[in-house]
Amino acid sequence: MRQILAATDFSTRSQRAVRRAGLLARQRGADLMLLHVVDDDQPAHLVELERGEAAKILGEQVQSVAELRGIPCRHVVTAGDAFDAILRTAETAAADLVVMGAHRKQLLRDIFVGTTIERVIRTGSRPVLMVNTEAAHPYVRVLAAVDMSDASARALQAARTLGFFDNAHLSVVHAFEAFAKSTMFIADVPQERIDRHVAEEQQRASAELQAFLQSQGYGDVPWSRRIEEGDPFRIISRAVKDVNADLLVVGTHGRSSIAKILLGSVAEEVLRSLEVDILAVPRAAARG
């Protein structure tokens, strides 16, 4: 990892992201860029006034935030729409990782437009680290949510390339569906046979997960594995708590906007609901 971009709006949420970005830059020997975006939908003189004030605050942060001291760090202030400016700056700077604070929940706007961080993930090509917690120490318990899709493969590749698996206890969680279970239940099949069917499906899912991890070069890695039948979000949430994960790795599938509104997605539900730090890897993020 050579370049990290941390976007900040000077909120407490963003301050946590800045501190984590500084810690990561120090760990990885990377350069750090701090970015603040000024809303340009206002008179030009106000835009310039806010740009000057923002540059002053960023400069003060570089000097005062402990995690930023002694690392290569520069700051940029630009004007425009927040998510578009973040994407443009990330591309221009060739950022390997974008770090942002957890979003402020605004239910109706979130449903029909999406939060800034969700739009950055949905339309961007860079892995995004959403920071929910204080940067007290490096990540030591990393949980990867895997559905054995190309999205999961990209997420594992990005997390490994960025160094998030280094010196960490690694866990993987996979949720499977026993497709015949509901039909058997309706048909009043004895519970023993239903349980046997679920156990067989779990064994099959376990073999598929092992093959998937082996295909990604993780066959010999001592993953702690959780393979459970049921709703993926609930299983991921429970796994986060049970392993006390401080980082969750997820891939995103990049479905259409209509599908997102009507159906939602596991990745979006995870981003909106869990209080753990989350590395979200969009579909275009695998760059080798």
116-132 pLDDT, tens digit per residue, is: 888 888 888 899 999 99
Among 251, 255, 248, smallest CA distance to 278 is for 248
pLDDT at 191: 87
Averaged pLDDT for residues 262-266: 56
DSSP 72: -
Same domain, 72 and 122: yes
The average confidence (pLDDT) of the chain is 88
Among 170, 158, 160, smallest CA distance to 282 is for 158
Averaged pLDDT for residues 34-60: 94
Residue 92 has pLDDT above 70, yes or no: yes
Of the residues 131, 162, 177, the one at which a domain ends: 131
Same domain, 95 and 198: no
Same domain, 151 and 112: no
Kindly tell me the sign of the dihedral angle through the C-alpha atoms of 286, 252, 33, 89.
Answer: positive
Residue 178 has pLDDT above 80, yes or no: yes
CA distance 31 to 76: 13
Residue 103 confidence class, pLDDT cut points 50, 70, 90: low
- CATH number for position 110: 3.40.50.620
Residue 105 has pLDDT above 60, yes or no: no
Pairing of strands 73-79, 141-145: unpaired
Same domain, 46 and 182: no
DSSP 268: H
Q: Show the domain range for 60.
A: 1-131
Of the residues 85, 113, 131, the one at which a domain ends: 131
pTM: 0.89
DSSP 102: P
Same domain, 234 and 256: yes
> How many structural domains comprise the chain?
2
Same domain, 121 and 185: no
What's the token pair of residue 240?
């986060």
Averaged pLDDT for residues 65-89: 94
In this structure, which amino acid lies at residue 85? A
Same domain, 116 and 191: no
Using only C-alpha atoms, the chain has a radius of gyration, in whole angstroms, of 21
Looking at per-residue pLDDT, the higher value among 185 and 130 belongs to 130
Of the residues 131, 146, 163, the one at which a domain ends: 131
pLDDT at 284: 67
Residue 256 confidence class, pLDDT cut points 50, 70, 90: very low
| Complete DSSP assignment for 268-285 | HHHHHH--SEEEEE-TT-
Same domain, 165 and 91: no
Averaged pLDDT for residues 10-18: 93
pLDDT at 217: 93
Same domain, 94 and 155: no
pLDDT at 136: 85
Same domain, 111 and 204: no
Same domain, 184 and 109: no
Residues 203-217: pLDDT tens digits?
999 999 999 999 999
pLDDT at 263: 35
pLDDT at 210: 94
Residue 138 confidence class, pLDDT cut points 50, 70, 90: very high
3-state SS, residue 20: helix
Averaged pLDDT for residues 195-224: 92
Same domain, 156 and 273: yes
Residues 265-284: pLDDT tens digits?
788 888 888 999 999 998 76
Residue 285 confidence class, pLDDT cut points 50, 70, 90: low
